[in-house]
């Protein structure tokens, strides 16, 4: 199953009922990609939402992430961590498992063979990483027997990640943009607001449509209410013209909004 362009991010969606209902609503609205993580503390609620939705499991692309602080990233810890994740989600397999951050006891030579093993066991379908730089991505590609499927990293109009997107295209994996709305600051970016007014849409839709104009990018905005979920879906049908895209491309800022978690290579 390929990675849908638009997914549901669930970071900070920790109230069990709200999380369950937002996942269910999103799936029944047409979302087919749900992104969670051990670190988010909501895998059980995400699983409840998947179970409650009137959508067959085989049509849903489910991703989670193993984290150094939760189980560790040694070989056996990855295997055990995935088992716990599947138990909380109530699933037999994941479509995609990520290394959440290459910190703590992350070691490509020990961590990544566990991912290959999980693919071989049919417990995960694809391998991903998060918050890597190009050197770490190349190291992972070399170490893995399974093709690298996705790299998830903060990406939005104020942090455009052109080099990482180009690397993804050249090496044949997906670039997954988290915080694609720059934690709400897209509503204050003049270029984005003006383009939104021009098309009669929200700045959120403009930010998402701009990202989706890049290849090979998928986006995972977080939302809980039905209006926000619908607004994000509508970005799929928004066609920005070349001038719109060029204006956002030219913003030229590098505003990193997500804590680096001890990953100094992410500094500008």
Angle at 257 between CA 253 and CA 260, to 5 degrees: 115
Q: Which residue has the higher pLDDT, 69 or 191?
A: 191
Q: pLDDT band for position 234 (50/70/90)?
A: very high
- DSSP secondary structure string, 141-164? HHH-SSPEEEEEEE-BTTB--HHH
Q: pLDDT band for position 260 (50/70/90)?
A: low
169 CB-near residues (< 8 Å, 6+ apart) = 175, 215, 216
Is pLDDT above 90 for 268?
no
In the sheet where 61-66 sits, what is the strand order? 8-9, 33-35, 61-66, 94-99, 124-130, 148-154, 174-178, 217-219
Q: Choosing from 31, 39, 40, 98, which is the catalytic residue?
A: 40
* pTM exceeds cut of 0.75: yes
Q: pLDDT band for position 267 (50/70/90)?
A: very low
Q: Could you confirm whether 40 is annotated as catalytic?
A: yes
Considering Cα of 28, then 31, then 37, then 39, what sign does the dihedral take? negative
Is pLDDT above 80 for 15?
yes
The tens digit of pLDDT for each residue in 108-157 reads 999 999 999 999 999 999 999 999 999 999 999 999 999 999 999 999 99
pLDDT at 110: 97
The tens digit of pLDDT for each residue in 165-188 reads 999 999 999 999 999 999 999 999
Q: pLDDT band for position 263 (50/70/90)?
A: low
pLDDT at 1: 84
Percent pLDDT > 90 in the chain is 93
In sequence order, the β-bridge partners of residue 159 are 156, 254
pLDDT at 95: 98
Relative to beta strand 33-35, strand 148-154 is unpaired
> To the nearest whole number, what is the mean pLDDT of the chain?
96
């Amino acid at each position: 199953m390929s990675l849908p362009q638009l997914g549901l991010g669930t970071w900070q969606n920790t109230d069990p009922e709200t999380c369950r209902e937002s996942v269910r609503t999103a799936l029944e609205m047409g979302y087919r990609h749900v992104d969670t993580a051990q670190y988010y503390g909501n895998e059980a609620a995400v699983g409840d939402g998947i179970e409650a939705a009137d959508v067959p499991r085989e049509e849903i692309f489910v991703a989670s992430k193993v984290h150094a602080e939760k189980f560790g990233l040694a070989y056996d810890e990855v295997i055990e961590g995935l088992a716990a994740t599947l138990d909380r989600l109530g699933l037999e397999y994941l479509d995609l498992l990520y290394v959440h951050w290459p910190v703590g006891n992350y070691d490509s030579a020990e961590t990544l063979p566990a991912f290959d093993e999980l693919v071989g066991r049919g417990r995960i379908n694809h391998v991903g990483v998060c918050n890597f730089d190009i050197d770490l991505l190349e190291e992972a590609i070399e170490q893995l027997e399974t093709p690298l499927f996705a790299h998830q990293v903060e990406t939005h109009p104020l942090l455009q990640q052109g080099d990482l997107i180009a690397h993804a295209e050249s090496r044949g994996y997906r670039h997954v943009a988290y915080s694609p709305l720059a934690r709400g600051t897209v509503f204050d970016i003049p270029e984005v607001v003006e383009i939104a007014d021009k098309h009669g849409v929200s700045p959120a839709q403009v930010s998402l449509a701009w990202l989706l104009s890049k290849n090979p990018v998928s986006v995972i905005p977080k939302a809980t209410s039905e209006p926000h979920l619908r607004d994000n879906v509508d970005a799929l049908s928004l066609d920005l013209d070349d001038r719109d895209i060029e204006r956002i491309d030219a913003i030229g800022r590098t505003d990193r909004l997500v804590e680096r978690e001890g990953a100094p290579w992410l500094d500008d």
